Amino acid sequence: MALQFQIATGNNVPIYRQIADQIRRAISMGDLVPGDQLPTVRALAEQLIVNPNTVAKVYTMLAQEGVVEGYVGRGLFVAARRQLLSEEERERRLAVALDAFFNEVLFLDFSAEQIMELLSQKFKALESTPASSTPKDVK
């Protein structure tokens, strides 16, 4: 099964961030497991109809973050999972994200019940496709 990424228009999220997020997400969800090879810069750029520079930037970023490892001449591979952020940093970022989300919900005037239900569904959908099962042999 080939990976299917999509770049959305209309929201103001920069393209490079959309791609990076989707790769990270695919890894979190187990669609990509450590050792999996990612598409080449050119291939992904063509598939998404995006400037190759943009894809290259994404790969560089992910490599710096450590979620991905590249070997010249062989390609780019999903790295073994490890916790990159400090506990403090994780909590700080969660608090920021939660605050932003909460504010938007309040502004849009949805009820607590609706939100909790929707979020709960999202998590359930995630469980039904269990992540990081049967990792392929790495490197």
Partner DNA sequence: GTGGTCTAGACCACT
Partner DNA sequence: GTGGTCTAGACCACC
Q: Which residues bind a second copy (CB under 8 A)?
A: 9-14, 21, 24-25, 28-29, 49, 61, 64, 66, 69-72, 79, 82-90, 93-94, 96-98, 100-110, 112, 115-116, 118-120, 122-123, 126-127, 138-139
List the structure tokens of 104: 């938007």
E strand segments, the chain: 68-71, 75-78
Compare residues 46 and 104 and give the one whose CB is closer to a second copy: 104
Query: Could you say whether residue 33 binds DNA (CB under 7 A)?
Result: no
C-beta contacts of 55-62 below 8 A and 24+ residues apart: 55/19, 57/16, 58/16, 58/19, 58/20, 58/23, 61/16, 61/20, 62/20, 62/23, 62/24
Of residues 42-101, those binding DNA (CB under 7 A): 42-43, 50-54, 56-57, 59-60, 63, 70-76
Q: Which is nearer to a second copy, 43 or 66 (CB)?
A: 66
Contact 55, 41 (CB under 8 A): yes
Pick 11 or 133: Cβ nearer DNA: 11
Which C-beta is closer to DNA: that of 4 or that of 134?
4
What minimum distance in Å lies between the beta carbon of 45 and a second copy?
15
- CB environment 106-122: b (16+ within 10 A), e (fewer): eeeeeeeeeeeeeeeee
- The minimum distance between CB 43 and DNA, in angstroms, equals 6
Whether the Cβ atoms of residue 35 and residue 138 lie closer than 8 Å to each other: yes
- Residue 96: what residue type? V
Q: Which of 23, 27, 32, 41 binds DNA (CB under 7 A)?
A: 41
